[in-house]
Amino acid sequence: MFYELRQYQLTSTPMIGHMHDRMQNHILPLFERHDIQVAGAWEKVIGGGMPSYVWMIRRRDLAHREKAFASFYADERWWEVRRLTTERAGGEMVKNIDVSILQPAPYSPLR
């Protein structure tokens, strides 16, 4: 099992509400369709690169990651959601994205 940690530095503090709307109401149903499992989502309240929206995905293996994201990005619905939610937010929500692929340590409870 692998975990993918995604940290989105937002363009402004009000964008956090728009990110919650995008994920909860639009992306989670799309992820379900493309076999992408979200392990958790957070707002960063202390630390560098704020404001930030952070979320994590569970992966069976790296091949599953490639297949699932290829399917997701080929879905016309994603591009429609991205366009609509960006318009509602009044512009781009994300300034920078940092992605890490993590493998649990042997003693991790998230194995």
Q: For residue range 61-71, what is the model confidence (pLDDT) as tens digits?
A: 999 999 999 99
- Domains present along the chain, CATH in parentheses: 2-102 (3.30.70.100)
How buried is residue 76: exposed, middle or buried, by Cβ count under 10 Å (0-12/13-18/19+)? exposed
Largest CA distance in the chain: 45
Whether the model pTM is above 0.75: yes
| Cβ-contact 95, 10 below 8 angstroms | yes
What contacts 82, CB < 8 A, 6 or more positions away? none
Long-range contacts of 101-110 (CB under 8 A, 24+ apart): 101/2, 101/3, 101/4, 101/5, 101/59, 101/62, 101/65, 102/2, 102/3, 102/4, 102/5, 103/2, 103/3, 104/1, 104/3, 110/1, 110/3, 110/39
Q: For residue range 52-90, what is the model confidence (pLDDT) as tens digits?
A: 999 999 988 999 999 999 999 999 999 999 999 999 999
